[in-house]
Amino acid sequence: MSRLGHMGARLYRGEVGYDFVGKRKIWYAVSILITITAIVGLAVRGLNMGIEFQGGAVFTTPKTSVSASDAEHTASTVSGHDAIVQELGTGGLRIQISGVDTAKSDQIKAELSKELGVKSDDINADLVGPSWGEQIANKAWTGLAVFMVLVVIYLAIAFEWRMAIAALIALIHDITITVGVYALVGFEVTPGTVIGLLTILGYSLYDTVVVFDSLKEQSKDLTKQTRWTYSEVANRSINSTLVRSINTTVVALLPVAGLLFIGGGVLGAGMLNDISLSLFVGLAAGAYSSIFIATPLVADLKEREPQMKALKKRVLAKRAAAARDAETARVRTPQDGEPDDGLDDAGPDDDDGAAPAVVGPRGQRTQPSSRGRGRGRPSGKRR
């Protein structure tokens, strides 16, 4: 068995573990800080919306020797708007310009034909109206709202309403961080971005539901015992599924990282950037929230119940009594290999093996009889 597998087995059996729930205030503070940073970045920088949402034109050229930077300068100068140019695998260019109408599109097409040295008829121009992007955005928001409502209903039925609330907060946490990263990085928001955002919702819930299922099993008849509190059982559930969560997250992140850093960064595939960035950030945020946010939130909500408060009080009282009994036994019982120092009977002034002090009038001192006393002495009788 590998070292990671051995550690996972020990975590599952509860032999080792980390106190995730006990240190939940630290994780809450980290999440609040990251969320505030994402919101500030979104408010200050805003999202770089693609032409699908703003409207504009997309020009696709055949193979040309003109570089992408020169084509970008030409397109920006002619249109008066910022242009985004991407190199295609065929050697051609894909030029996106926002806020362009039909008349302006024909002018830009003619100028690009001169600068790139290609025929005007070989340049494909597609116009995108802003209404299409607005429809996509509205449908995405509708799908997101319906998804969250269905998730809350399902989790409330399958588990309980506290877990549903915690999962919903974790989802909002993940989406906020992902959108904030998009604003800070400046990646263009396209329909691929929307697809990625909707996809991460399922991944975000996966690890959370796994931990919740373990917590549900381990917390059955919890109030009938006095060994564990609900927070401790929740912490055991996180530790027992920790290696599984790490493995599934790493396996999911590896291909997404390949799309983001190799497909998008090296090959320059723009659509891959849009999808992979949202997936990469969302997967990482989802794994974090399922361990550090969702389950500690459930423990906080459950510990407010009267029966869980009473359980915690009984558990702590039992542990305090056991600690007192252990301390008493340690004082009264000598350790193995150590002489009995007589602490239970001797007074504070007794040392060096001295006899204990006698309280009250002193009686006669009794000498031990000797077997050899009087042997060899005359009996004193006269013959």
| Total-model pTM | 0.71
What is the model's pLDDT at position 7? 62
Q: With b meaning 16 or more CB within 10 Å and e meaning fewer, what string describes 307-346? A: ebeebbeebeeeeeeeeeeeeeeeeeeeeeeeeeeeeeee
Answer whether 99's CB lies under 8 Å from 80's CB. Answer: no
Read off the pLDDT of each residue in 267-277 and give the average, rounded to a whole number. Answer: 67
**91 pLDDT more than 60:** yes
Answer whether 97's CB lies under 8 Å from 83's CB. Answer: yes
| Residue of 118 and 310 predicted with greater confidence | 310
**173 pLDDT more than 70:** yes
Read off the pLDDT of each residue in 245-273 and give the average, rounded to a whole number. Answer: 75
Structure tokens at 52: 């699908």
Structure tokens at 230: 């609900």
What is the model's pLDDT at position 335? 54
| Residue of 235 and 128 predicted with greater confidence | 235
Please give the Cα distance from 350 to 25 (Å, whole number). 53
What is the model's pLDDT at position 220? 86
| DSSP codes, 12-60 | HHTSS---TTTTHHHHHHHHHHHHHHHHHHHHHT--EE-HHHH-EEEEE
**40 pLDDT more than 60:** yes
Rg (CA), the chain: 38
Please state, rounded to an integer, the average pLDDT across all residues of the chain: 77
What is the model's pLDDT at position 26? 93
**270 pLDDT more than 70:** no
Percentage of the residues of the chain whose pLDDT score is greater than 70: 77
pLDDT tens by residue, 140-171: 788 888 888 998 999 999 898 999 999 999 99
pLDDT tens by residue, 327-362: 888 887 655 555 555 444 444 444 444 444 333 344
What is the model's pLDDT at position 153? 93
What is the model's pLDDT at position 358? 38
**Residue 157 CB burial class (10 angstroms; 0-12, 13-18, ≥19):** exposed
Whose tokens are 């802003």? That residue is 130
What is the model's pLDDT at position 84? 76
Q: Rank 84-93, 244-253, 261-270 by mean pLDDT and report only the highest.
A: 244-253
Q: Which domains does the chain have, with CATH numbers?
A: 3-49+132-313 (1.20.1640.10), 56-128 (3.30.70.3400)
